[in-house]
Amino acid sequence: SAVISQKPSRDICQRGTSLTIQCQVDSQVTMMFWYRQQPGQSLTLIATANQGSEATYESGFVIDKFPISRPNLTFSTLTVSNMSPEDSSIYLCSVTETGSLFFGSGTQLSVL
């Protein structure tokens, strides 16, 4: 299975600032997915990051708030912009192999 490195693993940020999360995969993958997991909750898909085109966002998530880059087939970033305490969550990148998902270790974000 793919090995996914995600960083930072955690961060504490001030409201109004932005944080960029990086996700590196050890093999080329067509699609990368970004999920959010609020405390004690399930995983919610934020967007699908496609190489060479704009990310596809799910309902309730917008590019201005969560801009995504996908410069090549092994790397993606997710930025959480203009953060508020409501953005405190775990953010996870993932890739698919044979239909199942493999996740990075996640970024635990706390916004004060």
The minimum distance between CB 9 and another protein, in angstroms, equals 10
Nearer to another protein, 41 or 84 (CB): 41
Nearest residue to 71 (alpha-carbon basis) of 20, 9, 105, 108? 20
Of the pair 63, 101, the CB lying nearest another protein is at 101
Rank residues 75 and 103 by Cβ distance to another protein and give the closer one: 103
Partners of 50 in beta bridges: 31
Contact yes or no for 50/68 (Cβ under 8 A): no
Which of 19-43 are b and which e, b meaning 16 or more Cβ less than 10 Å from the residue's Cβ? Answer: bebbbebeeebeebbbbbeeeeeee
Shortest distance, CB of residue 107 to another protein, whole angstroms?
10
Cβ at position 82, least distance to another protein in Å: 26
The two tokens of residue 95 are: 């890739």
Footprint on this chain of another protein (rule: CB under 8 A)? 33, 41-45, 48, 56, 58, 92, 96, 99-106
Nearest distance from C-beta of residue 68 to another protein, angstroms = 15
